[in-house]
Structure 1
Amino acid sequence: MFCNQCEQTSRGLACNIAGVCGKSEDVSSLQDALIYALQGIAPVALEARRVGIQDEELDTFVLGGIFSTLTNVDFDPERIAALVHETVQRRDDLMERLRERAGAADFDHPSVRFVPMEDWQALAEQGKQLQFIQKLDTDEDIRSLKQILLYGVKGIAAYGDHAAKLGQRDAAISGFVYEALAALGAENLTLEDCVQAALKAGEINLRAMEILDAGNTSRFGHPVPTSVPLGYRRNKCILITGHDLLNLETLLKQTEGKGIDVYTHGEMLPCHGYPELKKYPHFIGHFGTAWHNQRLEFGDFPGPILFTTNCIQKPGAHYADRVFTTGLVGWPGIKHVAEDDFSEVVEMALQMDGYTKDLDAGSVTVGFARNAVLGVADKVVEGVKSGAIKHFFLVGGCDGAKGGRDYYSEFVSKTPEDSVILTLACGKFRFFNQQLGDIGGIPRLLDIGQCNDAYSAIQIAVELSKAFDCEVNDLPLSMVLSWYEQKAVSILLTLLYLGIKDIRLGPSLPAFISPKVLDFLVENYGIKPITTPDQDLAELLAS
């Protein structure tokens, strides 16, 4: 086993016995086999496109397959093995269609001829023998850049998969994914080739976030500022966590009128700001603070829990009997339910006691996506011109279980009173309930949304730069980001593609970045690791 795709990787180097996330060696090897099989489909799909064969269903399948290898999505070996076999079958079917259209085609890379073992245990051993990451390239720096490209593609696939479920697709996204998968197996690439591919991934990820934003807002409306209770009320209840708004809507519809309250956790919190979701009276509030504590928190929730997409840890044994997964998410021993039928979850909620008393634990405000913020842009601009607002901080990204993330809560608490903090993704749960007040009626802490709502943050920055007739890098704006998994990699690549500089990144730097590649990022983009809140604040405010 060799896996270093997330921030909490063992000893800051790589997990080689079992994943810190809980992933077994067999699952890791099966995921490598799946990526290898998907790599084999890429040149076939590219050649098919060249002769006019474009299969939208296949494109969506490939995005979902890649997404399933993201940290903490699917730990079920039988499900992953089934995906490997389906990938190879789809590859061979496409090959046959290609032969019928244009005659025989020759493909050099051995992944095109990959034949998986039938038994999942044997397939896991086959995946182990691939040594997929180690054999990406013999050159440390090329291998590092190929890993950055691979993990960026995993983030793109996550957003592209979400968008596709909402009817939003772009052939350019899947086309680039095929090109990137093919590039992973290419030989004699230069550093410049790999850097350009990584920046292209950033450009494509921006497009993926854009169409996901279009899917969310066209179906659920643009988020509006909304106060979300952090307590609870006496009633039956269900908790939903993850990222999938469509799953949440389905759950709200299927619990309507049944005397069950629905609570969010993690990245579902921003969903309370969407008009077409907040209209449900039983969509009651938010449960929990930080994802890093979810094992303890979930054990305290008195109802069933529905996991959608990836979360920071797999369920603990003491509450696993009331956990359900849906979509791509799968763990051995955990009940998986279809995305259009949550009746088992509802039935369990009706059988459980739920909350037996009320609790007022305050509230937080969400819904400051681009429409809401730009709707008061004149006040923001006036605040800057008058000197009431002197600095903006974007503090967001992933949360995680490893130490060092208290930096972000301390950083936010120490920001000066004439500054505004924009935040997004689950990293905000380190500080989302801090009471920071407002500046001229504008809250100092603005929750933009989920990790994919980095698109909204980018649009806000672009519009502010237009208002002040300057480049984004010239705004009094500092980015202090936390990362955990591969969607954070794709977002960072988007920021680099846009030319954003002087980003602070933590709590530790990715293990897959070689010293030479790190030097390149520092020299060309000014990326720096976080130090201490006091030191970083002093430097950022002085610049």
Structure 2
Amino acid sequence: MSMFCYQCQEAANCKGCTIKGVCGKTEDLAKAQDLLIYITKGISVFSTKARELGVENKEVNKFVVESLFATITNANFDRNIFIERIKRGLQLREEVKQQYIKAGGKLIESKENTSWLKKIFGFGGAQKEEELNLPEAAIWFADNVNDFDLKAGAVGVLSTKDEDIRSLRELLIYGLKGMAAYIKHANNLGYDDKNLHGFMQKALAATLDDSIAVDGLIALVLEAGKYGVDAMALLDKANTESYGNPEITKVNIGVGNRPGILISGHDLKDMEELLKQTEGTGVDVYTHSEMLPANYYPAFKKYKHFVGNYGNAWWKQTEEFESFNGPILMTTNCVVPPKNSYKDRMYTTGATGVPGVKHIADGKNGQPKDFSAIIAHAKKCQAPKEIEKGEIVGGFAHNQVLALADKVVEAVKTGAIKRFFVMAGCDGRAKSRNYYTDFAKKLPKDTVILTAGCAKYKYNKLDLGDIGGIPRVLDAGQCNDSYSLAVIALKLKEVFGLEDINELPISYNIAWYEQKAVIVLLALLHLGVKNIHLGPTLPAFLSPNVAKVLVENFGIGGITNVDDDMKMFLG
């Protein structure tokens, strides 16, 4: 088997990609990513020990977060970037090891000799020295690419032989990858929480510990849900304190007649810096896919050259990037390897990378990124080709919905709203995802959809009407904003005086694709939400026994067909 990856919903045959990733990931790239995760675990062994002695290495925190983020599905396809990160990781592991030793930590410990003489006669045993039982990831070293590749073949997902242990370790790691994305966005805005780093590194180190059995790993997975809530709350605070609370907004989906830059991904700091640098240049800015919710923030509405949103979910970019005509800036994951017809117009930044695509580096010493190259490129391009007209409505994050709480509660009490459906999550290429469009169309007119993430593109342009002025699709924002949906549910629980969040008239029919959806799921489980349905398929990384635990304890389920599921949800 040349590679093995099953971290996303599109895993081949719902089992795993073994030749080439459906995402476009090649064998050598997959191996480099596996080795980077392995090295990151080794760093975490020492950083966790050092933290116990009061030593926190901020460079380690940054490296771990960025390494996890870079390995998320559809984030980075540039193998050279991963090779350089592996080299840096080996250096950093040695640095934090020395910090641990300097703080009084020991790699050799003294133990009393427990010989047969002591056991029989009670002699005071002599002291002997033994090396700490360090996992190989904490001590392995190489300095050339050939050795990297050789080692990578032995440390991937399948190196854990027990199926259930492997399933739980990978579930934990994928949750950490999703958490890393939220933390990185918050960090870019100057917000951080050292407790999040402490847990992430402790959990990574734990995946190397063969003494931690199924029960211990289940506990860590559930603990990840707690920290997932904290990470999403941190990012929500960073976004809203930086740019204001999202507002109900009508977003233009048509085009102007000037050259434009299309910005995709999730990073609002990149959005801010691009808008500032394009102001007065004659270049317009459009959002794509998960960047759509940038239109809802008050701070961005002051820019007259911020036109609106162009296109749909990430997987349609191969056709929409062609018709846009201007350059495209990819700020985070959701990159599809580009076609040659527009590859020269694509730019990456942050955690993203594609071989042969221009990369815009981070600013130095806290300075903004330099977007002058992409702006100059845009000026030479034609205006975007119009692919649709009209407006879509969004901006229903928790602050805005809670401002409408009285109206919402009255609608529930009078029976005007019978049920809410949380249909958050991800969109994807599979035709089976049309299920969510059909499901939205068939929902009774006394139901409301709560959404966040690019899953909304399956139904956010449908004319589903409103209930007493409340739109039947309430878009809270990016997948990063799923926290808003939890806040709304908890507030409704409080308003209605309920003891259990599951007593609310809310059903969960969530589409998932990659690892940020995993941490959202774990966060919901931590909050006590049960009977969540995932589709279009259950994760391939859930072994039958682990899936059984989730079903029996949390009511996790899949989907079947629209008519039968509608009956199941509505009783």
Q: TM class by shorter-chain length? A: over 0.9
Among 432, 436, 447, the residue aligned to 1:408: 436
Distance 1:202 1:482 in 2: 18
Distance 2:49 2:547 in 1: 35
1:170 matched to 2:196? The reply is no
- 2:532 alignment counterpart: 503
- 2:332 alignment counterpart: 309
1:230 matched to 2:263? The reply is no
Shift in CA distance, 354/305, structure 1 to aligned 2, threshold 3 Å? same
Shift in CA distance, 188/100, structure 1 to aligned 2, threshold 3 Å? closer
Distance 1:155 1:41 in 2: 19
Distance 1:312 1:305 in 2: 11
CA contact (8 A) 1:5 1:485 kept: yes
1:532 matched to 2:561? The reply is yes
The answer to which of 477-486 and 52-61 deviates more is 52-61
Give, in angstroms, the shift of residue 312 of structure 1: 5.1
Among 272, 281, 288, the residue aligned to 2:295: 272
Among 472, 479, 504, the residue aligned to 1:451: 479
AA aligned opposite 1:480: N
Secondary structure, aligned partner of 1:397: coil
CA deviations 1:307-362 (Å, max 9, x no partner) are 01101522222211100000110111111012401111100000112247x78711
Distance 1:429 1:315 in 2: 21
CA contact (8 A) 2:6 2:15 kept: yes
Residues 294-443 of structure 1: matches in 2 within 5 Å? 294-311=317-334, 313-339=336-362, 340-355=369-384, 361-443=389-471
Among 212, 219, 229, the residue aligned to 2:235: 212
AA aligned opposite 1:392: F
Distance 1:315 1:538 in 2: 42
Give, in angstroms, the shift of residue 128 of structure 1: 1.8
1:125 matched to 2:150? The reply is yes
Secondary structure, aligned partner of 2:449: strand
CA deviations 1:481-534 (Å, max 9, x no partner) are 011111111111111111211111100111110111111111111111111112
Distance 2:206 2:99 in 1: 24
CA contact (8 A) 1:26 1:125 kept: no
Give, in angstroms, the shift of residue 122 of structure 1: 4.5
Structure 2: gaps of 5 or more residues: 108-131, 363-368
Q: TM (normalized to structure 2)?
A: 0.92
The answer to which of 456-465 and 152-161 deviates more is 152-161
Secondary structure, aligned partner of 1:309: coil
Shift in CA distance, 95/290, structure 1 to aligned 2, threshold 3 Å? closer
Distance 1:391 1:32 in 2: 43
CA contact (8 A) 1:229 1:363 kept: yes
Distance 2:105 2:268 in 1: 44
TM superposition outliers: structure 1 runs of 4+ over 4 Å? none
1:254 matched to 2:244? The reply is no
Structure 1: gaps of 5 or more residues: none
Give, in angstroms, the shift of residue 59 of structure 1: 0.8
Shift in CA distance, 36/58, structure 1 to aligned 2, threshold 3 Å? same
CA contact (8 A) 2:323 2:384 kept: no
Distance 1:198 1:359 in 2: 43
The answer to which of 402-411 and 56-65 deviates more is 56-65
Distance 1:421 1:359 in 2: 26
Give, in angstroms, the shift of residue 101 of structure 1: 2.1
How many residues align? The count is 538
Distance 1:237 1:343 in 2: 14
Secondary structure, aligned partner of 1:420: strand
User: RMSD of the TM alignment (CA)?
Assistant: 1.3
Shift in CA distance, 199/276, structure 1 to aligned 2, threshold 3 Å? same
Distance 1:22 1:459 in 2: 36
CA deviations 1:122-171 (Å, max 9, x no partner) are 423331233x21123x3211111111011111111111111111111111
Residues 89-168 of structure 1: matches in 2 within 5 Å? 89-105=91-107, 106=132, 108-119=134-145, 122-130=147-155, 132-136=156-160, 138-168=161-191
- 2:39 alignment counterpart: 37
Q: Which has the larger radius of gyration?
A: 2
CA contact (8 A) 1:312 1:400 kept: no
Secondary structure, aligned partner of 1:187: coil
Q: TM (normalized to structure 1)?
A: 0.97
CA deviations 1:357-405 (Å, max 9, x no partner) are x787111011110010000100100001111111101112011122310
CA deviations 1:426-485 (Å, max 9, x no partner) are 111111111111111111111000111111100000000111111210011001101111
AA aligned opposite 2:54: G
Distance 1:289 1:178 in 2: 36
Distance 2:562 2:482 in 1: 23
Distance 2:527 2:395 in 1: 25
CA deviations 1:286-320 (Å, max 9, x no partner) are 11123332211111111000001101522222211
